[in-house]
Chains A and B, each alone.
Chain A
Amino acid sequence: MKNCKIGILLFLAVLPNILSAQEKITTDNWLSSPGIIGTFILIAIVMIIAIIILFIKLNGYIDSMKRRQLDKHRMAFDDEIVAMEGADIDTILEKRKAALTYKLKGDELSGDNEAVDDKGLLHRVEKDPNNAFFDEKKKTSLSLETPQELKKIVIYYIGAAAIWLVLGTLIGQYLGMKFLWPEMDQQSWLSFGRLRPVHTNMVFWGWSSLAMIGLGYFVIARTSNTKIYNYKWAWTAWLLINATIILGTLCLMAGINNGGGEYREYIWPVMILFAIGLIITFYNFYKTVATRKISEIYISNWFILAALIWTIVLAIIGYLPFYQDGLGETVIQGYYMHQGVGMWFMTFTLGLVYYYLPSALNKPIYSYSLGVLAFWTQMLFYTMIGTHHFVFSPLPWWLQTIAIVFSAGMVIPVVAGTTNFLMTMKGAWNHISKSYVLPFFLVGTVFYFVGSMQGSVQAFRFTNFVWHFTDFNVAHSHMTMYGIIAFFLWACIYAILPKLTGKEPSQVFVGAHFWLAFIGLFAYMISLMAGGTYRGLSWIDGNPFIESVILMTPYWVWRAVGGSLMFASHLVFAYNFYYMVKGYNKTKPSELAKPIEEITV
């Protein structure tokens, strides 16, 4: 008791000192002051306890609900038994008795029994199983019976996409060479500034978007177990999107540029066609899903429908003029260019993978709930991080900080997605030796993890210091738009087209496509990453700017080499596509085929 008193006295004696020590406090670092931190911790404790209580309460409630339901089931079962006839019960018991006493005879697979395949399990009989030289990989065993109209839509969307891919990357390749020979031409409409957005917009809206939508039509119809709501609308959207790219390209080459914000270079009278195309596509998809013949909405459709609705919102926000003077435009630009990638390409493509990957491996997706988690976190985190393209810029600091924090949060959807895909592939690795579809998926998945995580890390302030404004950004965007999106799209295309048309391209050519694209991308990426890093360091050291241009030359050479390989792979792809679809409408659907509505997925 005495000690206690002394303690209190001591405390009182020291108290003025503690108080006076606080006189020097300024408003700097207010967040890290002990008082504020203490308050946060206390509030957090209350919050946590409240949350725990809430969970306990909820749990109790759900338990009582469950118990009630169980009782109901039990009573229903009892009623059923009571209502049964004696003869019915006897049959059931007889069946069970036979099953319990069943034994194998031991000669089912040998002896003199005639070979029969009652259930049609055998598809291929190998006559010469030990031929080591030409180990023929498995052909697609399954030919899907699909309405001719849907087939045509899928093929025309992918076909147009392939044309834009070849043309768009030809332009990209030409631009890459301009870094080495800036005087390659003297034409205004071929100049670097005008042609760069032509390349990016063409591969974005032309190649990736059309291929995605085309593949999406099949997924929507198939997983909803029904017909596409309106085939005509699909064609209208196809025309609108292609018109957008043709008109946009012409405008840009003529020097009509919306203002130079990346991926917003098409002026609104052109881009509105694209937006209408998306709205029609969305409505068509939505209606198809709404008239589905199964009760559940497959996870792919979540992603695809959301990608469409998000992108429509995005395009509208990106082009509305009311808040875009001054740096308002810059806020929107960061938001728009990031969401263009994240909410449109990434979301839609993930939706495709959730269908085509398991279907190509003929097994279910590893975890449906993980897919749902990835979906909601994709929406929450991706939306917030646009401003990380403008770190250290004059934009508000809080906006930059949110972007950086949520960039780190991107770990959740990315790890969820990657785990899901890899675990789906697990146990099916032998498909790598069987076809090229899985390698395309695997590379896409690996890049999905690496590219997304690298992007998150790049958003941190230190890495921004070194890499921002350098060619590293270009490497990153190719790693994601090409490594993730394009590889996934090719995987889906090679997985589905042979099943639709019954013609599989030669393995040599698919292999050539795969390796040229992969090695090309690698050369492209590594060279620009290395060069970009050196360039950033040169700037930090305060060297004259032109030195950083000179030091890039060898890396630009390697970029051009990588780019050439990538372009060559696209020519091979275009040939493969042609081979797969040539004369597709002459192959007759087999007579046993049921109409699509009657096939269960």
Chain B
Amino acid sequence: MLNFHKEHKNLVLTAGGVFIALSTLIAILPAFQMQGTEPIPDEKPLTAHEEEGLRVYVSENCMACHTQQVRNIEMDNVWGSRPSIPSDYFYSKKRLDVWRQSPSTLGSERTGPDLTNIGARQPSEDWHLLHLYNPRAVVSASVMPSYPWLFKEVDSSYMPTDAKVVAVPKAYFNKPGKKIIASYDALRLVDYLKYLKQTELPGDNVNDFIPALKKIEAARSEDGTQSLDGANLYAQVCAACHQGTGKDIVGAFPSLVGSSIVNDENSEKLIRVVLQGYDARTDYGVMPPFGDQLTDAEIAAILTHERSSWGNDAAPVTEEDVAKIRQYLEMELNK
């Protein structure tokens, strides 16, 4: 009937027709289905500034190395508190303009960290700017490119009033009488990065992660309520600014080695700084609060690690200490 061996018309029409049918089934229909997605009640749309930042993100093709999807497997728990759901992308994945399509932010390579929740994990503008100017200034082993074209070199004397100066350590920029300021694009890009936070789902409606491999699971349950690994937590949460060695980056982040706050026998001030954040010194960047992000036990483990490493030698901090101060702070707020 169809005789594909001799009828070129039948051959081409069948091959094309079946392919179009299959494509409709497997791509177009599911894609249309996804158009019905609605945002999470608390989800915030992008502001004009954040939207501009997204455009910088696309134009520098950050998607080549950074994903924005928390998969529903346990290893991805470090990138967000819950697996990503279609609604998470309601505002950020819209067609950019006539020329460019909806940005492919989910990505397929994780050469660098996932950015789903970067705004919560790293809320400091100073850190982001310095990191963009030269990633190795804050993370020495980083292989991320630096983006000097998003910054301007200006004379200290002719500084525009609204300029945002980036505190670049001398090792990376050392010209007397000159300063590095962030360009408009850099500030917008950071706005966008700070926007990237997972919206909490209403109620207890949380879909869980698929547990990791059984072996690890078993090892974990054997430990029971085992002590948290402070060094590991420190590396994940704090080392981005305070370095793996606790050393300072002059002009950006203070040293923890021999610091009077860290080594203080009474750990109250130290715990306060972590819970509330810190902005007392103009010669350093602002430290964001971590109270919402870390549990008491985690904070205790990190601080114990800080107080016993790099030559620091102070008494460990317990979970109870942190809980006490947290309670105290809440009372203070409610007053």
Q: Using a CB–CB distance below 8 Å, which chain A residues touch chain B?
A: 178-180, 182-183, 186-188, 191-194, 196-197, 252, 255-262, 264-265, 267-269, 286, 289-290, 292, 295-297, 301-302, 305-306, 309-310, 313-314, 317, 319, 321-333, 335-336, 339, 343, 372, 379-380, 383-384, 386-387, 389-390, 392-396, 399, 402, 465, 468-471, 473-474, 539-547, 549-550
Contacts and interface: CB of A to CB of B under 8 A. Distances in A.
Given A325-B102, A380-B22, A393-B84, A469 B15 contact: no
Given A399-B30, A540-B212, A256 B59 contact: yes
Contacts of B101: 258-259, 261, 264, 268, 319, 321, 324, 329
A197 B113 CA distance: 20
Given A193-B145, A257-B61, A333-B104, A324 B23 contact: no
Contacts of A396: 30, 33
A549 B143 contact: yes
Q: Which of A186, A191, A310 has the most CB of B within 10 A?
A: A191
A328 B64 contact: no
B141 A193 contact: no
Q: Which of A193, A252, A262, A305 has the most CB of B within 10 A?
A: A193
A343 to B, nearest CB: 7
A546 B141 contact: yes
B90 interface: yes
Nearest to B32: A323
B65 A193 contact: yes
Nearest to A265: B61
B143 A394 contact: no
A193 B59 CA distance: 9
B92 to A, nearest CB: 9
A290 B103 CA distance: 42
A305 B11 contact: yes
Contact of B146 (A186, A256, A269, A390): A186
B31 A331 contact: yes
B259 to A, nearest CB: 22
B60 A193 contact: yes
Contacts of B84: 393-394
B35 interface: yes
Contact of A255 (B9, B60, B78): B60
A188 B8 contact: no
A392 B33 CA distance: 19
A541 B216 contact: yes
A473 B35 contact: no
A404 to B, nearest CB: 13
A392 B73 contact: yes
B23 A326 contact: no
A170 to B, nearest CB: 18
Contacts of B164: none
Contacts of A327: 34, 37, 86, 89, 93, 106
B104 A264 contact: yes
B100 A258 contact: yes
Contact of A544 (B16, B59, B236): B236
Given A289-B8, A323-B32, A402-B26, A390 B109 contact: no
Contacts of B212: 540
Given A259-B58, A384-B26, A469 B86 contact: no
B5 A296 contact: yes
Contact of A309 (B15, B59, B75): B15
A469 B110 contact: yes
A324 B102 contact: yes
Interface residues of chain A: helix, strand, loop or mixed (majority): helix
Given A380-B22, A542-B232, 20 more contacts: A178-B145, A182-B145, A186-B148, A193-B62, A193-B65, A255-B59, A257-B59, A260-B58, A261-B104, A295-B6, A297-B11, A305-B11, A305-B15, A323-B34, A326-B35, A328-B34, A328-B35, A389-B108, A546-B235, A550-B141
Contact of A306 (B15, B75, B113): B15
Interface string B48-60: 0000000000111
Contacts of B213: 465, 540
Contacts of B143: 178-180, 182, 549
A209 B18 CA distance: 24
A260 B141 contact: no
A326 B67 contact: no
Interface residues of B, number: 86
A379 B15 contact: yes
Contact of B15 (A261, A264, A310): A310
A387 B15 CA distance: 22
A182 B35 contact: no
A188 B151 CA distance: 12
Interface string B110-143: 1101000000000000000000000110010111
Given A325-B35, A383-B19, A193 B89 contact: no
A218 to B, nearest CB: 19
Interface string B67-95: 10101110110100001111011100111
B61 A196 contact: yes
Contacts of A321: 95, 101
A506 B63 CA distance: 44
A547 B139 CA distance: 11
23 contacts: A182-B146, A257-B61, A260-B58, A260-B62, A260-B104, A269-B99, A297-B5, A310-B19, A314-B23, A321-B101, A325-B102, A326-B35, A327-B37, A328-B34, A330-B34, A330-B93, A332-B31, A394-B84, A469-B67, A544-B236, A546-B139, A546-B235, A547-B235
Q: Which 3 A-B pairs have the closest CB atoms?
A: A261-B104, A469-B110, A193-B61
B61 A197 contact: yes
Contacts of A474: 109
A317 B104 contact: no
A317 B27 contact: yes
Contacts of A339: 23
A193 B144 CA distance: 10
A242 to B, nearest CB: 22
Contacts of A387: 26
A176 to B, nearest CB: 12
B147 interface: yes
Contacts of A256: 59, 99-100
Contacts of B159: none
Nearest to A391: B71
B100 A546 contact: no
Given A192-B64, A259-B103, A309 B32 contact: no
